[in-house]
C-alpha cells in the first residue's frame, strides 16, 4: 500500500515540477528559469536580439558544436562592443540527434528566440527546419549542408522554406565543384578512387553529385569504397584503390576518419593524391598529428587558417587568444554567419522589439540583396532566394604541414 502512495506522491511531484518549469518558461522572457539563461551569453548592452542555436556540445560530434559556439560567442562579443546591433546568444546542446534538436528548438522557442543559427549538423537541421518555417523565424546555418535543410523537396531541390539560409556550401554543390576541379586539374591524376561514409548525410550527399558530375566530365572512377560510423580499419578500401591503380583518392568525409585512411595508406605503401572537401579542414590541428601523412593533400574549403589576408589573420588570432586553439571552418562559417546577420539587421529598420514576422521579412529582403565580405570566401558572398549561398571555394593544398593556396 505504501508503495502505491509513494508512486502517487512521485507523480504529483512530477506534475508539480513540470508545472513549475512550464510556467516559468511560458511567461515573459526576462524571468526565464535558470535552465534557459545559463545557456546565454549576455554581454549585450540595451536591447538585444535573441539569437538561438543548437549543436552537439556533448558526444562524438561535439568538436564541431563547440567550435561553432566559440566562434559565435567571439563574433557577438566583438559586435556588441561596437554598439549598434546587439545580440544575446542561447546555444543549446542537441548532441547531433534529431530528437534532441527538436527539444532544443522548443527550449529556444520558449526563451523567445528571434533569429537563429539553426543547427550545426545536417541531420538535426532537417528535423527542425519545418518548425522554423511554422514559426517563421529566420535562420542561417553555418554548417548544415544538406539540401533538406533549405528545401522541402530535397530530392529535386524544390519548394524552399524561404526563411532558412546556409552559410556553407550544400553537399551537392561541393560534389559538383570537386568533380569540376579534378577534371580541370588532370595533373593531379586521372584515375579516381573514392572512399566515403555511406551512413552519413554529408558524405553520401557529396558522393552522389560527384559521381554524376564525374560522368558528365568523363572522369574515370576506378574504385569505390565505403565505411560506416565508428569504423577504424581501412585496409580493405585502401587495398582496393591501390589495386585498381587510382592515383587520386577522393575523400568526401571528415578529418578524423581521413587521418586513419592516410595512416592505412602509408602502411600499405600507397601514395596517391588525396582530395577532400570542407570536412577535411581541421586535419592538421589534431593533437600530435603526424603532418607528414597529410603532405600533398588537396581540399576545397571555404576557409584556411593560414590564409594571409588581414581579416582571416585577426580572426585566427582572436580565436586562439580566447580559446587556445586554431579555429576550423566550422568556426569560420559561424563567425561569418553572425556577422552577416549583424550586417543585415543593421541595414534594416527592425529592432529587438519588432515582431518575429517583421524581423524575418526584413532579413530575407536583406540577405537576398546584400553582398557580404567575410573570412569564408575571397570575394563577395551572396544568397539566392532559396537560401543557397554563392561564394568561391578555395582550393588548398597541404605543404610542409600548413595549408597553402593551390590556385
Partner 1 sequence: MQFLSYLISGLGLGSVYAIMALGYSMVYGIAKMLNFAHGDIIMVGAYVAFFAISGAGMPPAVAILLSVLVCTVLGVVIERLAYKPLREASSLAVLITAIGVSYFLENGALILWGADSKFFPSNIFPQGGITLGSLTISWLTIITIAACCIIMILLMLFVGRTNTGRAMRACSEDKGAATLMGINVNMIISLTFAIGSGLAAIAAVLLGATYPSISPTMGAMPGIKAFTAAVLGGIGSIPGAFVGGLLLGVIENLSKAYISQQLSDAIVFGVLIVILLIKPAGLLGRKVSEKV
Partner 2 sequence: MKDLLKRNKNAAVSYSIVIVLFIVLSIMSGAGLLGRKYTALLVPVCCYIVAAIGLNMNVGISGELNLGQAGFMSLGAFTAVIVAGALNFHGVTAPALVMLICIVCGTVVAGFLGWLMSIPVLKLEGDYLAIVTLAFGQIIVNIINNIYLGIDENGLHFSFVNNTIQMQEDGNLLISGPMGATGVNTVSTFTAGFILVMISLIIVYHLMNSRNGRAIMACRDNRIAASTVGINAVAEKTLAFVVSAALGGAAGALYGMNYSSFAATKFDFNLSILILVYVVLGGLGNMTGTIIATTLLVVLPEVLRFLSIYRMLIYAIVLIVIMIVTNNQAIRLRLKNLRMKNGGRGKGKEVSGNG
CA distance readout (Å), 276 to 32, 192, 305: 44, 12, 16
Q: Which of residues 233-252 bind partner 2 (CB under 8 A)?
A: none
CB of 324 to partner 2, least distance (A): 16
Which residue in 166, 201, 329, 348 binds partner 2 (CB under 8 A)? 201
**Within 10 A of 1 (CB to CB), how many other CB atoms are there?**
5
Interaction between residue 204 and partner 2 (CB under 8 A): yes
Q: Which of residues 28-87 bind partner 2 (CB under 8 A)?
A: 33-36, 38-39, 57-59
Interaction between residue 146 and partner 2 (CB under 8 A): yes
CB of 72 to partner 1, least distance (A): 17
Q: 208: buried, middle or exposed (CB in 10 Å: 19+, 13-18, 0-12)? A: middle
Interaction between residue 256 and partner 2 (CB under 8 A): no
| β-bridge pairing 164-166 and 138-141 | parallel
Which residue in 29, 41, 42, 103 binds partner 2 (CB under 8 A)? 103
The CA dihedral of 359, 138, 389, 80, to the nearest 10 degrees, is 70
C-alpha cell at 356: 518575429
Interaction between residue 7 and partner 2 (CB under 8 A): yes
| β-bridge pairing 115-119 and 49-55 | parallel
Residue 351 carries which DSSP code?
-
| CB within 8 Å of 317: residues ≥ 6 apart | none
> Integer distance in angstroms from the first to the last C-alpha of the chain?
78
Residue 272 or 282: the one with the smaller Cβ distance to partner 1 is: 282
The CA dihedral of 70, 375, 377, 141, to the nearest 10 degrees, is 30
Which residue, 88, 91, 111, is CA-closest to 32?
111
CB of 116 to partner 1, least distance (A): 23
Interaction between residue 326 and partner 1 (CB under 8 A): no
Q: Which of residues 140-199 bind partner 1 (CB under 8 A)?
A: 198
Interaction between residue 346 and partner 2 (CB under 8 A): no
Q: Of partner 1, partner 2, none, which one does residue 375 interact with (CB within 5 to 8 Å by kind)?
A: none
Which residue in 55, 123, 144, 352 binds partner 2 (CB under 8 A)? 123
**Within 10 A of 249 (CB to CB), how many other CB atoms are there?**
27
| β-bridge pairing 298-301 and 273-276 | parallel
Which residue, 51, 86, 85, 83, is CA-closest to 69?
51
Q: Of partner 2, partner 1, none, which one does residue 3 interact with (CB within 5 to 8 Å by kind)?
A: partner 2
| CB within 8 Å of 82: residues ≥ 6 apart | none
Question: For residue 130, how far is the Cα from the chain centroid?
Answer: 18
Interaction between residue 279 and partner 1 (CB under 8 A): no
Q: Which of residues 365-384 bind partner 2 (CB under 8 A)?
A: none
Which residue in 42, 78, 270, 289 binds partner 1 (CB under 8 A)? 289
Question: For residue 11, how far is the Cα from the chain centroid?
Answer: 41
Question: For residue 383, how far is the Cα from the chain centroid?
Answer: 17
Interaction between residue 22 and partner 2 (CB under 8 A): yes
Residue 263 or 368: the one with the smaller Cβ distance to partner 1 is: 263
Interaction between residue 93 and partner 2 (CB under 8 A): yes
- Distance between CA 143 and CA 119 in Å, rounded? 8
3-state SS class at 118:
strand
Which string of x and - marks every residue 151-170 that binds partner 2 (by CB under 8 A)? -xxxx---------------
Q: Of partner 1, partner 2, none, which one does residue 190 interact with (CB within 5 to 8 Å by kind)?
A: none
CB of 32 to partner 2, least distance (A): 10
Q: Report the half-sphere exposure of 354 (CA within 13 A, side-chain side).
A: 17
Could you tell me which residues are beta bridge partners of residue 191?
220
Stretch that binds partner 1, among 17-25, 99-107, 229-237, 314-322 (CB under 8 A): 229-237
CB of 38 to partner 2, least distance (A): 4
* Footprint of partner 2 (CB under 8 A): 1-4, 7-8, 10-11, 14-15, 17-19, 21-26, 33-36, 38-39, 57-59, 92-93, 97-100, 102-103, 106-107, 109-110, 123, 126-127, 129-131, 146, 148, 152-155, 198-201, 204-205, 208, 228-229
* Footprint of partner 1 (CB under 8 A): 58-60, 62-63, 66, 198, 225-233, 235-237, 239-240, 243, 256-257, 259-260, 263, 267-269, 282, 285-290, 325
Amino acid at each position: 500500500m505504501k508503495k502505491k502512495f509513494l508512486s502517487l506522491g512521485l507523480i504529483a511531484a512530477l506534475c508539480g515540477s513540470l508545472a513549475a518549469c512550464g510556467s516559468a518558461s511560458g511567461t515573459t522572457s526576462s524571468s526565464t528559469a535558470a535552465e534557459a539563461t545559463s545557456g546565454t551569453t549576455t554581454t549585450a548592452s540595451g536591447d538585444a536580439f535573441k539569437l538561438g542555436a543548437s549543436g552537439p556540445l556533448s558526444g562524438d560530434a561535439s568538436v564541431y558544436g563547440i567550435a561553432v559556439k566559440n566562434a559565435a560567442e567571439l563574433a557577438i562579443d566583438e559586435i556588441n562592443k561596437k554598439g549598434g546591433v546587439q545580440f544575446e546568444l542561447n546555444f543549446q546542446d542537441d548532441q547531433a540527434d534529431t530528437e534532441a534538436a527538436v527539444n532544443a528548438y522548443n527550449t529556444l522557442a520558449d526563451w523567445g528566440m528571434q533569429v537563429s543559427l539553426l543547427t550545426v549538423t545536417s541531420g538535426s537541421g532537417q528535423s527542425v527546419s519545418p518548425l522554423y518555417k511554422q514559426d517563421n523565424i529566420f535562420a542561417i546555418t553555418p554548417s548544415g549542408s544538406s539540401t533538406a535543410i533549405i528545401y522541402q523537396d530535397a530530392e529535386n531541390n524544390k519548394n524552399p522554406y524561404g526563411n532558412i539560409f546556409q552559410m556553407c556550401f550544400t553537399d551537392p554543390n561541393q560534389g559538383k565543384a570537386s568533380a569540376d576541379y579534378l577534371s580541370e586539374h588532370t595533373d593531379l591524376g586521372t584515375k579516381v578512387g573514392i572512399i566515403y561514409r555511406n551512413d552519413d548525410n554529408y558524405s553520401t550527399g557529396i558522393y552522389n553529385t560527384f559521381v554524376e558530375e564525374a560522368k558528365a566530365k568523363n572522369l574515370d572512377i576506378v574504385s569505390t569504397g565505403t565505411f560506416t560510423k565508428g569504423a577504424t580499419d581501412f585496409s580493405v578500401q585502401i587495398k582496393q584503390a591501390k589495386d585498381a591503380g587510382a592515383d587520386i583518392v577522393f575523400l568526401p568525409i571528415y578529418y578524423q576518419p581521413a587521418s586513419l585512411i592516410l595512416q592505412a595508406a602509408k602502411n600499405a605503401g600507397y601514395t596517391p593524391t588525396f582530395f577532400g572537401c570542407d570536412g577535411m579542414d581541421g586535419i592538421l590541428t589534431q593533437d600530435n598529428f603526424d603532418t607528414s601523412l597529410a603532405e600533398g593533400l588537396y581540399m576545397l574549403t571555404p576557409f584556411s587558417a593560414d590564409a594571409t589576408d588581414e581579416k582571416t589573420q585577426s580572426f585566427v588570432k582572436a580565436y586562439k587568444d580566447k580559446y587556445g586553439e586554431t579555429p576550423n571552418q566550422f568556426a569560420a562559417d559561424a563567425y561569418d554567419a553572425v556577422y552577416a546577420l549583424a550586417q543585415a539587421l543593421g541595414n534594416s529598420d527592425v529592432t529587438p522589439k519588432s515582431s518575429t514576422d517583421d524581423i524575418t521579412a526584413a532579413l530575407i529582403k536583406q540577405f537576398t540583396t546584400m553582398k557580404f565580405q567575410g573570412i569564408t570566401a575571397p570575394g563577395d558572398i551572396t544568397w539566392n532566394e532559396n537560401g543557397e549561398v554563392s561564394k568561391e571555394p578555395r582550393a588548398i593544398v597541404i605543404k610542409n604541414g600548413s595549408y597553402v593556396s593551390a590556385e
